[in-house]
Amino acid sequence: MSSDARAYLKIGDVARLVGISPSAIRGWESLGLTRPRRTESKYRLYTHEDVRLLKRTRYLRKVRGLNAPAIVQILKREGVIKAPADGGGGTIGPHLRQLRTKRGISLREVAAAAGISVGFLSAIERSHMSASVGTLRKLARFYGTNILDFFEPTELNTRLVRPTARKVLEAGPGVRMELLAWGNTVMEPHLFRIAPQAGSGESYAHEGEEFLFVLRGELKIALAGQEYHLKRGDSFYFESATPHHWKNPGRSETWLLWINTPPTF
């Protein structure tokens, strides 16, 4: 047996290590909590990372009493698992591919403009990977649009937006943007949820002004080389044309009310 084969575990081994049944593991797989490899005979093969994730899932289920959807949301916010391709921010891949193919542009041309590899752009378009806010901003600028359009908010603004009705975009590992209002607005308000050590990636800039308020956690934001460390209750204003990047330096999730005006983010 090769060393690669010995690195994987069968479903029975995983069930024993985690303390749950194989049927439960298969059920959690349908929610995106594991992505086992398959042999030619279709047998599932798991890694030790899968075991750690399943143990975390079992803890949330047994100790904290959370149901499966709540567990998935927590693990997404922690950056442990990605959004499914058909939910939340999963529509961004097909949307980007549609923008590109309508213009008759190659992957190579778009990738060069955004400063990323062709393979990475292809993975984004196929919803296999998510892009950072900095990369999304470059793609939006290349296509002459803004990140707001990636939410695809087709409904008119109904004034009141319930939490379950928010438009969601997964903007890179551990960064979740929830659109709080849309339609004929002069502001673009978001709730940002940023996992520990997650951030925007490289610096970016655009038209407009920005205001943010730290609801929980902390944030480091750098503008033109000067860094600010914000904590719960702090507010911050800056002009969007100033190159900026940011990161959650803490050990817990950061929540931000982040408002752009005009909506050109």
3-state secondary structure of 221: strand
Q: pLDDT for 67-126, tens place per residue? A: 766 777 777 777 666 544 333 444 678 888 888 998 999 999 999 988 888 888 888 888
C-beta separation of 196 from 130 below 8 A: no
Residue 224 pLDDT class (50, 70, 90 cuts): confident
Q: Is residue 4 scored above 80 in pLDDT? A: no
Choose the CATH number for 152-261 among 3.40.50.1860, 1.10.3470.10, 1.10.3720.10, 2.60.120.10: 2.60.120.10
Q: How many whole angstroms separate alpha carbon 27 and alpha carbon 43?
A: 16
Q: How many whole angstroms separate alpha carbon 187 and alpha carbon 24?
A: 45
Instruction: Kindly indicate whether the domain formed by 3-77 is annotated with CATH number 1.10.1660.10.
Output: yes
- Strand-pair category, 167-170 with 175-179: antiparallel
What pLDDT was estimated at residue 1?
A: 42
Mean pLDDT (whole number) for 204-222: 94
Counting Cα atoms < 13 Å in the Cβ hemisphere of 193 gives 15
User: Per DSSP, which regions of 51-159 are E strands?
Assistant: none
Domains of the chain, by residue range, sit at 3-77, 88-147, 152-261
What pLDDT was estimated at residue 233?
A: 98
Q: How many whole angstroms separate alpha carbon 100 and alpha carbon 81?
A: 27
228 CB contacts (<8 Å, ≥6 apart)?
220, 221, 222, 236
Q: Which amino acid is at 52?
A: R
pTM across the whole model: 0.58
- Identical fold for domains 3-77 and 152-261, yes or no, is no
C-beta separation of 82 from 32 below 8 A: yes
Q: Is residue 184 scored above 70 in pLDDT? A: no
Q: Quote the tokens at residue 158.
A: 């109904």
What pLDDT was estimated at residue 26?
A: 78
C-beta separation of 45 from 6 below 8 A: no
**By percentage, how much of the chain surpasses pLDDT 90?**
28
Orientation angle between helical segments 133-142 and 107-114, nearest 10 degrees: 120
Q: Please, what sign has the CA dihedral across residues 174, 87, 129, 225?
A: negative
3-state secondary structure of 170: strand
Q: How many whole angstroms separate alpha carbon 63 and alpha carbon 28?
A: 17
Instruction: Kindly indicate whether the domain formed by 88-147 is annotated with CATH number 1.10.260.40.
Output: yes
Q: What is the dihedral of CA 153, 159, 164, 170, to 10 degrees?
A: 40
Binning the chain into helix, strand and coil, the percentages to the nearest 5 are 35, 25, 40
Q: Which amino acid is at 109?
A: E
What pLDDT was estimated at residue 68?
A: 67
